[in-house]
């Protein structure tokens, strides 16, 4: 077993939903788990205005990737300026992640494989075939694939391939 040092860890700031979000995310992705949970103690609760004993941070893994979540308060919210890309090999994977992460999310924020989940986090559910089609050496195939993608919310591999083929 090889230990890999992950130099950069995404850190997600929630108001109060860190525990719920981590439970949802770890249930969706394979090879996922909660690593550690810290709680507000008497002193940190007084400073933060959080309830003593409530969740402060959670270290967790999604498909082996380290993340941290904090219940830090309403000062910061998520925006679509930062998103997480999920590379999918099959339409079944695209459907799985799209359906589970999109449940309860913002339907207006769905386009071209992007979605915003119920916690406000943005995700891109992208089939690996899309990258290949957009980089096709035939500019007409790439253009047709791009135009098809622009008309989709959830990406459909077969429809993208059909569009590229003309």
Based on the domain organization, do 84 and 164 belong to the same domain? yes
Per-residue pLDDT of the chain (166 residues), as tens digits, is 556 789 999 999 999 999 999 999 999 999 999 999 999 999 999 999 999 999 999 999 999 999 999 999 999 999 999 999 999 999 999 999 999 999 999 999 999 999 999 999 999 999 999 999 999 999 999 999 999 999 999 999 999 999 999 9
Please give the tally of structural domains in the chain: 2
Based on the domain organization, do 25 and 97 belong to the same domain? no
Based on the domain organization, do 158 and 84 belong to the same domain? yes
User: Which of 35, 60, 76 is the C-terminal boundary of a domain?
Assistant: 76
Q: Would strands 55-62 and 106-111 be described as parallel, antiparallel, or unpaired? A: unpaired
Based on the domain organization, do 93 and 165 belong to the same domain? yes
Output the pLDDT for position 67. 98
User: What is the residue range of 117's domain?
Assistant: 78-166
> CA distances (Å), 124 to each of 34, 114, 117, 128, 146, in order?
23, 4, 11, 12, 16
Based on the domain organization, do 30 and 83 belong to the same domain? no
């Amino acid at each position: 077993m090889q230990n890999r040092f992950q130099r950069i860890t995404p850190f997600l700031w929630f108001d109060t939903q860190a525990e719920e979000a981590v439970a949802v995310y770890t249930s969706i992705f394979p090879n996922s788990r909660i690593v550690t949970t810290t709680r507000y103690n008497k002193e940190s609760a007084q400073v933060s205005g959080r309830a003593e004993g409530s969740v402060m941070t959670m270290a967790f893994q999604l498909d082996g990737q380290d993340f941290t979540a904090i219940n830090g308060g309403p000062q910061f919210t998520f925006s679509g300026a930062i998103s997480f890309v999920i590379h999918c090999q099959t339409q079944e994977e695209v459907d799985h992640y799209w359906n589970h992460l999109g449940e309860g999310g913002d339907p207006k924020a769905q386009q071209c494989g992007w979605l915003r989940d119920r916690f406000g986090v943005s995700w891109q559910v992208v089939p690996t075939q899309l990258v290949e089609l957009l980089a096709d050496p035939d500019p007409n195939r790439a253009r047709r694939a791009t135009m098809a993608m622009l008309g989709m919310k959830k990406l459909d591999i077969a429809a993208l391939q059909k569009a590229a083929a003309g």
